A and B are shown apart, each in its own frame.
Chain A
């Protein structure tokens, strides 16, 4: 053994103590590793988990909205995007990369977006401008439940894609958007029994745009909806302040 020499001076840290210090270091490293692993992998309190899930859902939602907005359908003819200001602000605040993406999509040039001319009579086929505005409204208000794909989230949120209730009479869709819908309803073989809240703050123009967009997207191929149709439905139900029920409308 190295520390067996009895006639020489003992070193400042004798060999046995040096070994002991090494073992101490090993013990502390082991404790640190286990503690770190525990802290990193242990489940947290329920509220923590809820908050994390909510954040995750919010991120996914933001991502899907952003995808909807920066796709070519949301692009104006001059290369700018149709994004409502508040939505854009919140989206950019939530996702710092979004600004970069949008800039990369955007064509260079200082030209301001052309104001969209509102037309009293809607054409038979939805024009590009209406579709863009419809997508913007959809991405702002409908996408959370009915999803960017329009396929919903069975069995909680029904699909809009190829659903007869969406494609037949536009009056129904307008009613749902204005006042909401309650009660059981079967879409594509799945029975849904949740509540659609009324979508507050949409103008007649917005509603006509979004219904037009939905009726011409996700595999749907139905006629556009005019502002007048929306206005008529709104006026006919001006005194209504409760959601529609499926029983009332004779829906199944």
Chain B
């Protein structure tokens, strides 16, 4: 396997058929990352200066905040996950992607539909459900584009030549099927043919948990497994446990949805089901912790990881994963949840997962995959360092800051309080720009014009 990668690293960039779609997905992911960073900056500035850009209806807080969330999730994370999953699966299953144009079609459809959807949000056509805010006419386009763009990992799996299935493959396969099913079902029963009353909220929370844990989360877990063993050159320790981790993760994650609605007007037994599932999530989290940190725990593994660009990001990512999961589980118990619900604590916890875990792992994966896809080396090591520190301090710092400030706010039941976050967001922005410059130079610059930063 390592010989295979060596060959990929030193061969021309069109070695596997998947390199074109992977490059396209990464390029658009970068574009959306920059857009969502700028939007995040504006949004946090508006928290501080409510009059900022308030003259125009388009740039009111309500629209921009939703725009930022959707651009971040469906633009940055989704595109990056498409690319990472496809690449890892092609590498593990030795998949020569021949019908690349289908995936490129999906990439085009996804990003066009997303652009239209976000434009509609900007014009005020907004549904009242998080991550379903884009107008319902966009949803079928997103769904079909997903089928074109992101089922290729499953194809690679079906047509794999070798018998052994790596743990990364399980998580990627699971993730490939979770999104279309959860998205279609939720669109049908929340937006197109709304279910009655409280059922909508339940289905929606089920959707959110599926997206967060089973699509985004399991994709990032797959990448963590892959990068950890590849870059550290070791077997995953206690690999036999990873089966338990996988099945318990996929079994319980979908059931945790009602735990996010604690205290809401839903039957108590449903809430209890959610809390129980949340507690059962301890099992996969412990297994993943043993797998991840066990692998790094001997023979100077941590210092080795710290000195490796990819693993440094992944290390922060998996540490965030474990911490945020444990916090999530602890604070889904009724008495503690009563304190922190509706506070910035939950916002911080989400930031912890979406940024500290998922985005950091994707950054690490990008630092691993892009050189192998383009056949070039990273242009600037200084920008990589800038990216790491500003993303870690900006992203993780913001998450911890919100968590630490949110808890006392919930305890004292403050009605209005304000937590200034602009510094953290600015820092994230700097990191993202550094990352984008580095990557775009790599993706698009020919050797003679290294300063061409435009992207498709």
Binding site for B on A (CB under 8 A): 1, 3-4, 14-17, 19-20, 22-24, 26-27, 30-31, 34-35, 38, 42-45
Contact = CB atoms under 8 A, between A and B. Distances in A.
Given A14-B99, A35-B185, A45-B196, 20 more contacts: A1-B159, A15-B159, A16-B98, A16-B99, A16-B155, A16-B159, A17-B102, A19-B158, A20-B151, A22-B158, A23-B158, A27-B147, A27-B181, A30-B177, A31-B184, A34-B181, A35-B188, A42-B195, A42-B199, A43-B196
17 contacts: A3-B98, A14-B99, A15-B159, A16-B155, A17-B99, A19-B155, A19-B159, A20-B151, A20-B152, A23-B154, A27-B181, A30-B181, A31-B181, A34-B185, A35-B188, A35-B189, A44-B196
A31 B189 CA distance: 12
Contacts of A27: 147, 151, 177, 180-181
Contacts of A15: 159
A31 B185 CA distance: 7
Contacts of A17: 99, 102
* Top 9 A-B pairs, shortest CB-CB distance: A19-B158, A19-B155, A31-B184, A23-B154, A20-B155, A45-B196, A27-B180, A30-B181, A23-B151
**Dominant SS at the A interface?**
helix
B81 to A, nearest CB: 17
B213 to A, nearest CB: 18
A1 B189 CA distance: 41
A215 B97 CA distance: 88
Contacts of A43: 196, 199
A96 to B, nearest CB: 33
A34 B189 CA distance: 11
A23 B155 contact: yes
Contacts of A38: 185, 189
Contacts of B184: 31
Contacts of A16: 97-99, 155, 159
**Dominant SS at the B interface?**
helix
B303 interface: no
Contacts of A22: 158
Interface in B171-193: 177, 180-181, 184-185, 188-189
Most buried by A among B161, B181, B199: B181
Contacts of B185: 31, 34-35, 38
Contact of A4 (B96, B181, B188): B96
A16 B177 CA distance: 18
A44 B194 CA distance: 12
Contacts of B154: 20, 23
A35 B184 CA distance: 9
B174 to A, nearest CB: 12
Nearest to B94: A1
A20 B102 contact: yes
Contacts of B98: 3, 14, 16
A108 to B, nearest CB: 54
Contacts of A34: 181, 185
A108 B96 CA distance: 82
A4 B151 CA distance: 21
A20 B96 CA distance: 14
A15 B95 CA distance: 12
Nearest to B199: A42
Nearest to A31: B184
Contacts of B196: 43-45
Nearest to B183: A31
Nearest to B198: A43
A43 B159 CA distance: 42
Most buried by B among A3, A19, A27, A42: A27
B198 to A, nearest CB: 10
Nearest to A34: B185
B98 to A, nearest CB: 6
B252 to A, nearest CB: 18
Interface in B88-116: 96-99, 102
A4 B161 CA distance: 12
Nearest to B103: A20
B113 to A, nearest CB: 18
A4 B96 CA distance: 9
B88 to A, nearest CB: 18
Contacts of B152: 20
Most buried by B among A22, A23, A26: A23
Interface string B233-258: 00000000000000000000000000
A1 B98 CA distance: 12
B41 to A, nearest CB: 38
Contacts of A26: 177
B107 to A, nearest CB: 15
B181 A24 contact: no
B2 to A, nearest CB: 22
